[in-house]
């Protein structure tokens, strides 16, 4: 029998859910509501949720046991403590144990009477003020975190400091100067053809700002303007150390939605979804309010601004998974499945959400589109560097003297961002290593920061741009603990879809935790991860740990094999 072409690969869950009216959204929402009221294991409550939407028990047990928010027990008071890189760097991770002692429950556990539960998450978007936790939906941050959780101090959650380093911001005009949104969309949908929008974005050179850096106009064109196309605004900003998407969704949600509308227009899409991570409750509320207001003002709905365009937009909430920000895993989650990466081909632009052509653009990418259409693609292309045009939001962590979100031209030296914009480290501390683009983005030595902020420049230095979060480590954190932290992140966030990453990440953590110098097994493990992993998550682990070992030099000798 001839092999089945990849595009015709059978998906049993999709086929069954299709017959039941595609209840993925209601399934995930009901699972979240049910979990919020119980500390029991998923197998005791998830099957009934599945039955309620006409699906077998396995359809609910899959996501309920996979997503962190659904798998973790929930007491009447549920606390999420950040164990991500910036909060770890703020105090070598000691805050997690302090919170456990204060609440009297371990991470991943709940009190016997169900009064309180504690969940460790990997980034709450307060990297500029960590360590951080969410007490319900109330943020608590800073050195007095445990006192805030204990009620001895008032919860503190400073707004995100935002700055322009360009003189003419593409992304932060609304945040910093109050420039109103929805100035471009009404004129465009009423008087300009979709081809013109695509042409301007193509001329701009805009690439995706979520990590992969794919040309935006090429992705839009790949759908063939099918009327079934769906555009997804990816607000599942998972790279620990980055909070740019949270800033945009909370402070300028209308600009994100205007960019989404323009993207749908260019793709011929009549439907869009905004996915917001559950760790951003304030951003989720702001995006929902902004969508409702956009309908009221005629930006969405039928016959938009008197045109023939119909556009419907919904907001969905994530459930806690780093890999679920990858576009195929994200689509699986929106369908109600486990957020695991899927083999490609078929690519999402051919067969994505419920097999419809699907474009996934992250929030920062979409926020740049209104400026491009207003000023022209050529104006955007003149900014940045050839091949990597425009500006980028860069997030600096709590260890910096001036932490916050900065808009800079692509190509700006990392050293300038660290020393001039960030002011170096607080208290004059010495920088040991700098993490760029999340735990799997890579690390730079303090003496090797003369690198342009571009994908190509960072790749040459052994790092990756990612979401462009910069997390500083001073000399108060031991190199071996940083290495262990990276492997802990990899083991916790592997989606489990492929054995090289699922098994390899856990084995890597074991080898690092053993306290011995690495042997041949460690080198073989890194090679298998880089060559056989299904998606970029597993393939990036070896590069990340090698870059960390190189950055620390003699202090991590042997771990760069």
Residue 299 has pLDDT above 60, yes or no: yes
How much is the pLDDT for 519? 86
- The model's pTM: 0.94
Dist. CA 486–CA 500, nearest whole Å: 17
Q: Where are the domains of the chain?
A: 11-66, 77-150, 180-382, 388-472, 479-556
Q: How many CA atoms lie within 13 A of 344 on its CB side?
A: 15
Omega of the bond leading into 346 within 30 degrees of 0 (cis): yes
How much is the pLDDT for 65? 94
Quick one: pLDDT band at residue 5, thresholds 50, 70, 90? very low
Residue 97 has pLDDT above 50, yes or no: yes
Q: What CATH class is the domain 479-556?
A: mainly alpha
How much is the pLDDT for 9? 67
How much is the pLDDT for 213? 84
Which among 78, 46, 89, 53 is positioned nearest to 472, based on CA atoms?
A: 89
Dist. CA 367–CA 171, nearest whole Å: 6
253 and 347 Cβ atoms separated by less than 8 Å: no
Quick one: pLDDT band at residue 495, thresholds 50, 70, 90? confident
How much is the pLDDT for 341? 84
Helices assigned H by DSSP within 393-535: 414-416, 455-460, 479-493, 499-513, 520-532
Q: Residue written as tokens 């059978």?
A: 10
What mean pLDDT comes out for the span 499-511? 94
- pLDDT tens profile 347-371: 999 999 999 999 999 999 999 999 9
184 and 258 Cβ atoms separated by less than 8 Å: yes
Residue 2 has pLDDT above 60, yes or no: no
The terminus-to-terminus CA distance of the chain in angstroms comes to 44
Quick one: pLDDT band at residue 8, thresholds 50, 70, 90? low
Three-class DSSP category at 2: coil
- pLDDT tens profile 374-401: 999 999 999 999 999 999 999 999 999 9
Residue 289 has pLDDT above 50, yes or no: yes
Residue 444 has pLDDT above 60, yes or no: yes
Q: Which fold has domain 180-382?
A: Rossmann fold (3.40.50)
Residue 238 has pLDDT above 90, yes or no: no
Out of 271-285, 410-424, 535-549, which region has the weakest mean confidence (pLDDT)? 535-549
What mean pLDDT comes out for the span 467-479? 94
What mean pLDDT comes out for the span 162-178? 97
Quick one: pLDDT band at residue 18, thresholds 50, 70, 90? confident
Residue 3 has pLDDT above 60, yes or no: no
CATH homologous superfamily of 77-150? Glutaredoxin (3.40.30.10)
CATH code, 388-472: 3.10.20.600
Helices assigned H by DSSP within 128-193: 145-150, 173-177, 185-191
Out of 3-12, 158-167, 225-234, 445-454, which region has the weakest mean confidence (pLDDT)? 3-12
């Amino acid at each position: 029998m001839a092999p089945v072409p990849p595009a015709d690969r059978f998906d049993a869950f999709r086929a069954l859910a299709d017959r039941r009216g595609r209840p993925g959204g209601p399934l995930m929402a009901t699972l979240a509501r049910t979990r919020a009221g119980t500390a029991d294991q998923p197998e005791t409550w998830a099957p009934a949720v599945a039955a309620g939407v006409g699906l077998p028990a396995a359809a609910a047990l899959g996501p309920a046991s996979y997503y962190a928010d659904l798998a973790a027990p929930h007491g009447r008071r549920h606390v999420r403590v950040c164990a991500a890189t910036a909060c770890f760097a703020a105090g070598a991770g000691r805050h997690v144990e302090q919170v456990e002692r204060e609440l009297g429950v371990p991470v991943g556990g709940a009190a016997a009477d169900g009064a309180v539960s504690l969940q460790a998450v990997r980034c709450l978007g307060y990297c500029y003020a960590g360590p951080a936790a969410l007490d319900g939906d109330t943020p608590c941050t800073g050195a007095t975190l445990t006192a805030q959780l204990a009620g001895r101090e008032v919860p503190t959650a400073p707004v995100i400091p935002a700055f322009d380093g360009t003189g003419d911001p593409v992304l932060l005009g609304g945040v910093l100067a109050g420039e109103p949104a929805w100035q471009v969309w009404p004129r465009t949908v009423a008087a300009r053809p979709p081809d013109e929008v695509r042409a301007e974005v193509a001329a701009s050179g805009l690439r995706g700002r979520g990590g992969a850096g794919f040309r935006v106009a090429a992705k839009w064109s790949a759908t063939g303007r099918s009327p079934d196309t769906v555009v997804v605004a990816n607000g599942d900003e998972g790279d620990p150390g980055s909070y740019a998407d949270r800033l945009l969704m909370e402070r300028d949600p209308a600009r994100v939605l205007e960019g989404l509308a323009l993207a749908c227009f260019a793709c011929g899409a009549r439907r869009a979804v905004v996915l917001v991570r559950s760790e951003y409750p304030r951003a989720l509320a702001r995006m929902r309010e902004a969508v409702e207001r956009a309908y009221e003002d005629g930006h969405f709905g039928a016959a938009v601004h008197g045109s023939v365009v119909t556009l419907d937009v919904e907001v969905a909430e994530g459930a806690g998974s780093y890999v679920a920000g990858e576009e195929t895993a994200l689509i699986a989650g929106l369908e109600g499945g486990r957020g695991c990466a899927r083999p490609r081909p078929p690519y999402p632009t051919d067969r994505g959400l419920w097999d419809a052509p699907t474009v996934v653009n992250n929030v920062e990418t979409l926020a740049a589109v209104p400026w491009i259409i207003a000023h022209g693609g050529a104006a955007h292309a003149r900014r940045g560097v050839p091949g990597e045009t425009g500006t980028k939001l860069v997030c600096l962590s709590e260890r910096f003297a001036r932490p916050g979100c900065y808009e800079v031209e692509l190509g700006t030296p990392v050293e300038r961002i660290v020393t001039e914009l960030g002011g170096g480290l607080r208290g004059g501390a010495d920088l040991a290593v700098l993490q760029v683009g999340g735990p799997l983005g890579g690390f730079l030595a303090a003496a090797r920061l003369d690198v342009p902020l571009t994908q190509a420049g960072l790749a040459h230095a052994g790092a990756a741009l990612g979401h462009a979060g910069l997390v500083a480590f001073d000399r108060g954190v031991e190199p071996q603990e940083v290495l262990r932290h990276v492997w802990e992140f990899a083991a916790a966030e592997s989606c489990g879809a492929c054995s090289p990453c699922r098994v390899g990440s856990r084995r890597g953590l074991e080898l690092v935790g053993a306290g011995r110098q690495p042997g041949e097994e460690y080198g073989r493990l890194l090679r298998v991860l880089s060559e056989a992993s299904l998606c970029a998550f597993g393939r990036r682990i070896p590069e990340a740990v090698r870059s960390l070992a190189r950055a620390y030099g003699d202090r991590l000798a042997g771990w760069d094999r």
